[in-house]
Structure 1
Amino acid sequence: MKFNLSCVVYLTCMTSLFAQTRYDINLISEGRLRECIVVKPSTSPPIGGYPIVFMLHGTSQDGELFYDNSGWKELGEQENFITVYPTSLRWCYMDDGVETHGLRWVNGQVTDVPCSGTPQNYISDVHFLKLLAKKIADTFPVNPAMIFASGFSNGSGMIHKLAIDAGDVFAACAGSGSFLSAGDSAKPVHRIPVWAMLGTNDDRFIRPPYTEIPFGADSVLAYLYNPLQRMVDCQGVTQNFTKFETAITHTYEFKENNSADTGQLYRFTLVKDMFHVYPNGMNFRLEAAKLFWEFFKNSVTVNTEHPRNISNEILAIPNPSNDLIELSIPANDKSYQWSVFDAYGRLRMNGNQISGERVQCRKSDLGTGMYIFQVRLGDKVISQKIIFQ
């Protein structure tokens, strides 16, 4: 089991307090170095494989912030799914008419009103996120029917773009603090359910003479007509809705198909007294991760087939390496014997490994060159090439 090393430049892993495994990944997409955190839960994959949830940060934020504060990694351990925290690249963009530089996902919030001067060489974050999903699915047993994306602010704008351009990979999307940009509006490649959440005190959407987004009756539908109608049109549904209310939320579900079209659900929730946040139970009493996870699960028909047999795949990280390579067989739950041979077939190291532990090979013990890491699993022998540079 390995990442495609022609694309992956650097990867380290560590174990968290929850016995999850965190992987810090650098990979090349469209000639640019990209960073991402991937967290695998401590338990074996469920039937059908691990679900995946991508968490996309907002403007001038990064993946590390939402790894720490979104609540997704804790829920991923509890519910047994992989969580992913990528980081965007830095661009010039317009913020209230002022040219600003910072981390931002490439969607209409960057491209609809470009900065002056030489045009920027934009890359496709849709391509990057789809590539990342493929690399993860190539490495771990993943349920391809349960790949989801959530986002905050500019990241919420990005998950709306994914719903338009990447419904062939992502099964549902949900975000807080932003909508689909005008420049990203199009007929989706494959429609998927989408949920957008916004607080009445979100200053990005308050305009004079209002001091908050109106919560009474259904006036928000007129107040936010343009962004809501934009996505309703893209989802192929009518303006008719079903409304659900709590003391602090008004939720509108648009799911009635337009004539001669196959539509998909668009859900919008207005949250009373919430500011421009991704609610995590600390910054506001709702927890977006838990709400969105239930939405994701209910949005798909779960694949109940067993994941592909990956018991004969060895994970070597990082490989090649200048120092240490850690080797494991994540799908194997038994102890095993291992050996390391050099390019001439000479035995250089061997040992017995307890299930769940990693074998550590060091350049200081073996030297520069190519080696074969070989494992005996019952009557089967499997191997993995490792390289010290």
Structure 2
Amino acid sequence: MTLVFLIGSCVNSETKNYSKSDDSTSNFQTIIHEGVNREYVLYVPDSYDGSFSVPVVLNFHGFSGDAYQYMNEADMRILSESENFILIYPQGLYLDGEPHWNACPNGGDNKSEVDDFGFIETLIEEISSNYNIDLERIYAVGYSNGGMMAYGLANHKSELIAAVASVSGAMLDCTGPTLHPMPVIHLHGTDDLDLPYNGNNYYNSVQNTLDYWINFNNTNKEPIVNFDNSGEIEIEHYIYDNGNNSVSVEHYKYIGGYHIWFMSTFQGQNTSELVWGFLSRYDINGERSF
């Protein structure tokens, strides 16, 4: 594999303490967007040889997150190798001393004035100029504030994104204008105290978020429900299928689960496997034909 950690300056002069890899295959480079140095971890699997186009997974850390540390927690590298996709962990810029994602355009819901949507556009352009990527299979995944970013891209940069996954995240109110049916998978714990499952005065409930995409995609309103109580936590799986372009909306409900990237498995699959298994079924035109 090839692992690249791109590092640059923060939005202010605060000292950064991001983790650095001791892996001999790592090196440090810089990408610039709107005059600001931006960074990301890039993982290219050994199976990549450039002879055919491959998907890209963008995986966004949460508020205060470190891209390299997050890669070790929300690790999709084994899947990148076996399924032959390029994996990117972008790094957010500082807000009040903590890295963050600005998941809305400038307006009432935006966290800052950082142009993270533009950064991701520039990042995709950079990667596509150096690697043979399938531009119809770029996926956005995120944890917590990173899940907000994934939903932000689904709403405001849908011409780039084929499907999204949110783990312990939330969708903000700055919705639309999504340009195509958008497959969505959302994983969330019922005891999440940071982004409560039932919402609060600041964040939408999980069901409100699901309902938004169920209605947008015109899926079945009654879900198919599966259960797994064989592990340390009970997990319920809801499938809202038969949407436009054959897309679906899916939800994994972790009974008693907290605000984490989940370690518990569902029917033998971990969180990364559940996410990739869902995303890989779709391209930007809807359900893929295999």
Letter in 1 for 2:101: W
Letter in 2 for 1:293: W
Aligned to 2:83: 79
Q: Distance in 1 between matches of 2:35 and 2:80?
A: 31
Aligned to 2:258: 275
Asked if 2 retains the 8 angstrom alpha-carbon contact of 1:90 and 1:104, the reply is yes
Task: Provide Cα deviations, 1:227-257, integer angstroms capped at 9, x if missing partner.
Answer: 3333334444463333232222222223455
In structure 1, runs of 5+ residues without a counterpart are 1-7, 93-100, 207-211, 214-222, 305-389
Q: Distance in 2 between matches of 1:172 and 1:203?
A: 27
**More contact order relative to length (CA 8 Å, sep ≥ 6):** 2
Letter in 1 for 2:209: P
- 1:46–1:291 CA distance, 2 compared to 1 (3 A): farther
Aligned to 1:231: 213
Asked if 1 retains the 8 angstrom alpha-carbon contact of 2:50 and 2:131, the reply is no
Q: How does 1:226-265 map to 2 (within 5 A)?
A: 226-237=208-219, 239-247=221-229, 248-255=234-241, 257=243, 264-265=247-248
In structure 2, runs of 5+ residues without a counterpart are 1-6, 10-20, 199-204
- 1:40 CA drift (Å): 1.0
Aligned to 1:202: 192
- 1:112 CA drift (Å): 4.0
- 1:111 CA drift (Å): 5.7
- 1:286–1:61 CA distance, 2 compared to 1 (3 A): farther
- 1:263–1:181 CA distance, 2 compared to 1 (3 A): farther
TM-score w.r.t. structure 2 length? 0.75
Q: Distance in 2 between matches of 1:109 and 1:198?
A: 25
Q: Distance in 2 between matches of 1:162 and 1:67?
A: 20
Q: Distance in 1 between matches of 2:8 and 2:145?
A: 27
Secondary structure at the aligned position of 1:150 is classed as: strand
- 1:127 CA drift (Å): 1.8
- 1:15 CA drift (Å): 9.7
Task: Provide Cα deviations, 1:265-313, integer angstroms capped at 9, x if missing partner.
Answer: 222221123211112469xx96211111111222236699xxxxxxxxx
Task: Provide Cα deviations, 1:21-78, integer angstroms capped at 9, x if missing partner.
Answer: 5454421112222111111112234863222111100000021112222221232123
Name the Cα RMSD after superposition.
3.5
Alignment equivalent of 1:30, drawn from 22, 26, 34? 34
- 1:110 CA drift (Å): 9.6
Letter in 1 for 2:222: N
**Structure with the higher strand share, 1 or 2:** 1
TM-score w.r.t. structure 1 length? 0.58
Aligned to 1:107: 103
Q: How does 1:166-205 map to 2 (within 5 A)?
A: 166-182=157-173, 184-205=174-195
Q: Distance in 2 between matches of 1:289 and 1:114?
A: 28
